[in-house]
């Protein structure tokens, strides 16, 4: 059974969404559609006078819809689209002003009448968590991209990768990184990300070049370029890829733009525009990479990646290198965040190598930490000097931990599993240590100082 979309409010006003997942989705849809009617009104068989009035009514209604969504991103997207269309469509400043001014006036009237203007004031934006929370998330996405610039972190994993390996504080329920372009780069790598960005810039570059190559066809080219620019702006503040409707519309507009370029200009000219767009995309990705590297260098726990799916946490020059195998039953669903807290709690500077569960330890490792039952899923390492077993659960007759093992248990033995491990360690004369937490709940762990 499909659940109804959540309802959003602003100061007691219901933000319009008309069946879309959020008001921002509806705003993005309207902002991307309005530029298309600028071209449609130029080629309609309806007499010009009537078409002008129909176009004004449609656009006025669209602007009222945008204001009713209270979406700042959609509003900015529409204004950018109008500016792009006017700049590309004509070179006369007077005509540009005549195109933008009445539309801006109608948008301001709609915003004032609905109270939307309050949500766009600098003082409100500065205090609005939904706006300011985006900045650290974007920076975290840039860090993720800089760590794995080619392979990415996997489709659909950017939100939780950010929470696990970068986020210092804040909510744990991110499913994306609130920017479609950063998300594609972080999840699928820079090659796919650059291709995605190039697809966005190709219609704009093509329309700009067509001003001199094919000026009589500039209106439809400018309209589809403006529409894609609106979609680009809204995707810079949200991740709209979850909406199949918006995805389908974006693909249709892009294919229309390419078709117009090929038809009115030439295939060669279209490829030239695509090449320029790819150069722009690669430049943008280089800037994102540098941003991520710089942000990562200032992070309390720097993040890095190594071959074989290994994630490293901490300073690579740290004297103590620890191989870690995580178990969500101990560390919780956001294991990386817990590991970073644990790393900060240690007395000695450490570098944590977070290994896949079945991977062997590195030869240079000084210690190994097995959380939960990860020790039972791989051969116990003989390389590290210290081997720590934190909150193990499964104990069988074949369990054979080395004499040098340190077994950590909760301070309060409250279940048969812990009691069995305590007896096992005493029989084998293994070192038993007790954490300050009395339960196995990861949220209750004041992290012990292993090192």
The model's pLDDT over 23-35, given as tens digits with 9 standing for 90+, comes to: 999 999 999 999 9
Task: Please indicate whether residue 417 or residue 230 has the higher confidence score (pLDDT).
Answer: 230
N- to C-terminal Cα distance for the chain? 51
- Kindly give, in sequence order, each residue whose CB lies less than 8 Å from that of residue 52, ignoring residues fewer than 6 positions away: 41
Element (H, E) at 309: none
Rounded-to-integer distance, Cα 161 and Cα 183, Å: 11
Per-residue H/E/C for 248-288: HHHHHHHHHHHHHHHHHCCHHHHHHHHHHHHHHHHHHHHHH
Q: Which residues are 321's β-sheet partners?
A: 351
Q: Which of 28-42, 47-61, 215-229, 374-388 has the lowest mean pLDDT?
A: 374-388
Task: Please indicate whether residue 101 or residue 10 has the higher confidence score (pLDDT).
Answer: 101
pLDDT higher than threshold 80 for residue 359: no
Task: Please indicate whether residue 289 or residue 427 has the higher confidence score (pLDDT).
Answer: 289
Nearest to 324 by CA among 359, 291, 276, 300: 359
Any idea of the CA torsion for 141, 146, 152, 155, to the nearest 10 degrees? 0
What are phi and psi for residue 313, nearest 5 degrees? -125, 130
Mean pLDDT over 316-331 rounds to 87
pLDDT higher than threshold 70 for residue 383: no
Helix ranges, 115-217 (H): 122-127, 129-132, 134-147, 158-165, 180-188, 190-213
pLDDT of residue 440: 56
Rounded-to-integer distance, Cα 366 and Cα 384, Å: 5
Rounded-to-integer distance, Cα 173 and Cα 169, Å: 12
Question: How confident is the model over 193-218, as pLDDT tens digits?
Answer: 999 999 999 999 999 998 887 777 78
**CA contacts within 13 A on the Cβ side of 50:** 4
Question: How confident is the model over 257-313, as pLDDT tens digits?
Answer: 999 889 888 889 999 999 999 999 999 999 999 999 999 999 999 999 988 889 999
Q: Is 10 exposed, middle or buried (0-12, 13-18, 19+ CB in 10 A)?
A: middle
Rounded-to-integer distance, Cα 121 and Cα 350, Å: 46
Q: Which of 9-13, 202-206, 219-223, 276-280 has the lowest mean pLDDT?
A: 9-13
Rounded-to-integer distance, Cα 171 and Cα 160, Å: 11
Q: Residue 91 in contact with residue 211, Cβ under 8 Å?
A: yes
What are phi and psi for residue 17, nearest 5 degrees? -140, -15
Q: What is the pTM of this model?
A: 0.89
Q: Map out the domains of the chain as residue ranges.
A: 9-288, 303-444
Confidence band, pLDDT 50/70/90 cuts, at residue 1: very low
% of the chain with per-residue pLDDT over 90:
43
């Amino acid at each position: 059974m499909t659940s109804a979309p959540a309802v959003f409010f602003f100061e007691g006003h219901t933000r319009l969404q008309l069946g879309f997942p959020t008001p921002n989705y509806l705003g993005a849809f309207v902002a991307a559609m309005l530029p298309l009617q600028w071209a449609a009104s130029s080629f309609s068989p309806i007499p010009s006078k009537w078409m002008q009035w129909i176009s004004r009514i449609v656009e006025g209604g669209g602007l009222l819809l945008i204001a009713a969504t209270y979406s700042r991103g959609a509003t900015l997207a529409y204004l950018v689209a109008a500016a792009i269309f006017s700049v590309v469509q004509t070179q006369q400043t007077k005509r540009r002003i005549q195109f933008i001014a009445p539309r801006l006036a109608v948008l301001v009237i709609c915003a004032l009448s609905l109270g939307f203007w309050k949500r766009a004031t600098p003082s409100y934006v500065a205090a609005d968590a939904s706006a300011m929370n985006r900045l650290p998330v974007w920076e975290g996405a840039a860090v993720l991209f800089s760590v794995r610039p080619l392979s990415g972190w996997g489709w659909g994993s950017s939100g939780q990768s950010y929470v696990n390996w970068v986020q210092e504080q804040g909510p744990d329920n991110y499913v994306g990184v609130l920017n479609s372009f950063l998300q594609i780069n972080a999840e699928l790598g820079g090659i796919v990300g650059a291709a995605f960005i190039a697809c966005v810039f190709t219609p704009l570059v093509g329309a700009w070049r067509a001003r001199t190559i094919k000026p009589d066809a500039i209106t439809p080219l400018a309209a589809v370029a403006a529409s894609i620019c609106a979609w680009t702006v809204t995707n810079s503040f949200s991740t709209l890829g979850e909406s199949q409707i918006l995805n389908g519309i974006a693909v249709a507009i892009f294919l229309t733009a390419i078709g117009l370029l090929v038809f009115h200009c030439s295939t060669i000219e279209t490829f030239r525009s695509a090449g320029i767009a790819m150069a722009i995309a690669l430049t943008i990705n280089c800037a994102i990479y540098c941003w991520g590297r710089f942000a990562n260098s200032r992070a309390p726990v720097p993040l890095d990646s190594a071959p074989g799916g290994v994630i490293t946490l901490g300073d690579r020059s740290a004297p103590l290198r620890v191989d870690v195998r995580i178990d969500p039953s101990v560390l919780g669903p956001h294991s990386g965040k817990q590991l970073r807290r644990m790393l900060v709690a240690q007395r000695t500077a450490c570098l944590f190598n977070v290994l896949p569960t079945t991977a062997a330890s590195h030869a240079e490792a000084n210690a190994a930490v097995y959380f939960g039952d990860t020790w039972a899923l791989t051969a116990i390492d003989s390389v590290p000097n210290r081997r720590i077993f934190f909150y193990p659960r499964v104990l069988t007759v074949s369990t054979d931990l080395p004499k040098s093992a340190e077994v950590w248990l909760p301070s309060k033995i409250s279940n048969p599993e812990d009691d069995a491990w305590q007896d096992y360690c005493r029989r084998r004369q293994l070192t038993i240590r007790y954490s300050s937490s009395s339960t196995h709940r990861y949220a209750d762990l004041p992290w012990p100082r292993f090192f």
